[in-house]
Amino acid sequence: MRRRNSPGILAIATFSLAAVGALAHLEARAQSPIVTMDVNDGKLADAVHRALLAAASPDFGGAIVIEQGGKLILKAGYGYANREKHIPFRADTIAQIGSISKSFTAAAIADLEREGKLDPQSAVAKYLPELKGKSAGAITIQQLLTHTGGYPEYCGDDFDKSSSAKMLHDCLAPLDAKPGKHAYSNAGYSSLALIVERISAMSLEAYLKERITGPLGMRDTAYLFADATAKTHASGYLNGVNQGVISDRIAALHGDYWNLKGNGGIQASSNDMMAWGKALFGADPALPVMANKLSDRKTWALADGANTYYSYGLFIVLRSDGSVQRFSHSGSDGVFFSLFRWYPDERIQIYFVGNSGEDDVRKALLAAIGAVKKEAPIRE
């Protein structure tokens, strides 16, 4: 299933709470195993929790973590990670993050630049010689990072068996790439993943573990999990049908998942994703080169309208006065839906994920974001 990316979503700030009687019924569920409340500290946490409970369908399963100024505000799980086994969804449940995976690929690129092994202004063909003399090879790495290289959105469905050679030969070599305008490209980020592998002589999976997620202590973040179980990994549900655990589907491709690698497919716990946010936007970011790239407006490319930009795997939304309102990215495969968001002025970081189908998850997420915007409040 192709991921349906929604880069500009969640601009809605308002929501309506259910009637008092319905809310009381929903809140009674908080005493049952299907709501796991680890931290609920203060009015903001309570407002988000109540809004989410009111909006969530009976099928919703997911987790949310919110920090403000480095302080944990809310950490909670809702519904089931596995309905058949009645396993609650928790903040330590490992689940698909979708296109938020792109920020990890971008971090690997930034790390190679830090080591002097890569120049983002170089043409792709310098690192992928199969594309020498091709229009796809003349595109720069920086253009791929900002989706301005003219690469296609897809080279096939996510779980079509595809090697890197097939991606290069069938998708990129024949491409008539016309760079300039922002056009969201999963294929571009798969190409960046291949560049990481060519330069480092390591798989992307190994590079991320050794250089990025491992040093950050993100032990629950990866493409593949040899020990995935219903207790640790969330299953996805679409129209009530269990879609399985994505790492099992990736493993079945025996490495030939290049329609997905680099642009999606990473799974992580909500706890790990909050650690990821701190590494990028904390007071002392653990990935300073990546953090600097995101803050450097010269690396940004206009993505949508006059106030939305893209850089190194994240969207940046500006206010009318030109100041940054948020860094954000959502991820979806139509089943799981996730959101990472950082509000720099308010110093609020949010990670949210759900497994009950994108449309169902969005309802709960919009309510949660609406409560944050109202209670924090977030300056528009």
CB 267 within 8 A of CB 227: no
Question: What's the sign of the alpha-carbon dihedral 287, 290, 291, 292?
Answer: positive
Low-confidence ranges of the chain (pLDDT < 70): 1-33
Predicted local distance difference test score (pLDDT) of residue 331: 98
HSE, CB side, 13 Å, CA atoms: give it for residue 301.
Answer: 18
What is the value of pTM for the model shown?
Answer: 0.92
CB 274 within 8 A of CB 67: yes
Predicted local distance difference test score (pLDDT) of residue 305: 83
Q: Which residues contact 108 (CB under 8 A, 6 or more apart)?
A: 192, 193, 196, 204, 207, 208, 211, 212
Question: What's the sign of the alpha-carbon dihedral 275, 276, 277, 282?
Answer: positive
Share the mean pLDDT of the chain.
92
The string of DSSP letters for 212-260 reads IITTTT-TT-BS--TT--TTTBPPEEETTEEEE-HHHHHHTTTT-BTTT
* Conformational region of residue 98, where left means phi above 0, alpha means psi within -120 to 50, and beta covers everything else: left
CB 155 within 8 A of CB 193: no
140: which strand partners?
123
Instruction: With CA atoms as reference, report the closest residue to 291 among 303, 301, 277.
Output: 277
Give the span between the Cα atoms of 355 and 370, in whole angstroms.
Answer: 20
40: which strand partners?
74
